[in-house]
Amino acid sequence: MKYDILLVFLGGGFGAVIRELLVMLIPSESLLSLPVFIANMTASFFVGILAGLISKSKITGSQSAFLSVGLMGGLSTFSTFIYEIVLQIKTIDAVLVVYVFLTLAIGLMFVMAGLKIGSYKSRSVL
């Protein structure tokens, strides 16, 4: 608990580096960035899993600080998502509307799916 702020800092740094690697490795020709979409959806899914694990007391507060707040917070980028919308707002077209809708809808579904997986009660085989 005492070092949680350091864990958030480290996790955020790793998450931001992963996001930047996605941007470097996945070409994106339009202002609506596929790497940003992938980063946000990945973070949404894993935040859901982590929330489920937290609800079952499977991970500690410090682990959550590093993984959920830090790593997934650094990986996801709501500000870039909003900035992409602002850049396109002058010419609202079907692509922008679909991008915004899909980002929100799929992100919500990914969080819910991750939450279901993270909070799944495993049955012992033995």
Contact 26, 34 (CB under 8 A): yes
Burial of 118 (0-12, 13-18, 19+ CB in 10 A): buried
Q: Is 122 one of the annotated binding-site residues?
A: no
Which residue matches tokens 């940003």? Answer: 36
**Residue 53, both tokens:** 């694990």
Q: Is 76 one of the annotated binding-site residues?
A: yes
CA–CA distance, 31 with 100 (Å, rounded to integer): 13
- Pick the closest to residue 16 from 75, 86, 59, 61 (CA basis): 75
- Pick the closest to residue 38 from 19, 54, 53, 57 (CA basis): 19
Q: Name the binding residues for Na(+).
A: 73, 76
Binding site: residue ranges? 73, 76
